[in-house]
Amino acid sequence: MVKVVKKRKGFELKITSLKGSSKGNYIFIKSPSGGYHAFLEVAAGEAARDCGAKGKGNSRQLCKEVCKF
């Protein structure tokens, strides 16, 4: 079960995206502590199927199947 907590004030993630020279688009996130994380952008439907979506439909429907926001 997911525990829901109040959002901390002043907490900020900086996000940018850049075009890579070989594979595609990268999304970079910088945390408040200065750490960086990078993600390779893929189509949402492709990602949802890779994460276990079994249904048929558009990207939004497939993402709803696997993402529990």
Q: What is the pLDDT of residues 4-33, one digit of tens each?
A: 877 666 678 899 999 999 878 999 999 888
Q: Looking at 1-69, list the stretches that DSSP marks H as alpha helix, in order from N- to C-terminal side.
A: 44-50, 59-66
Distance CA 65, CA 42 (A): 17
What residue segments make up the domains of the chain, in order of their start? 14-66
3-state DSSP assignment of residue 37: strand
pTM attached to this predicted model: 0.60
24 within 8 A of 40, measured Cβ to Cβ: yes
Query: For 43, what's the count of Cα atoms within 13 Å in the CB-facing half-sphere?
Result: 6
Percent of the chain at pLDDT exceeding 70: 93
**How far apart are alpha carbons 14 and 49 in whole angstroms?**
28
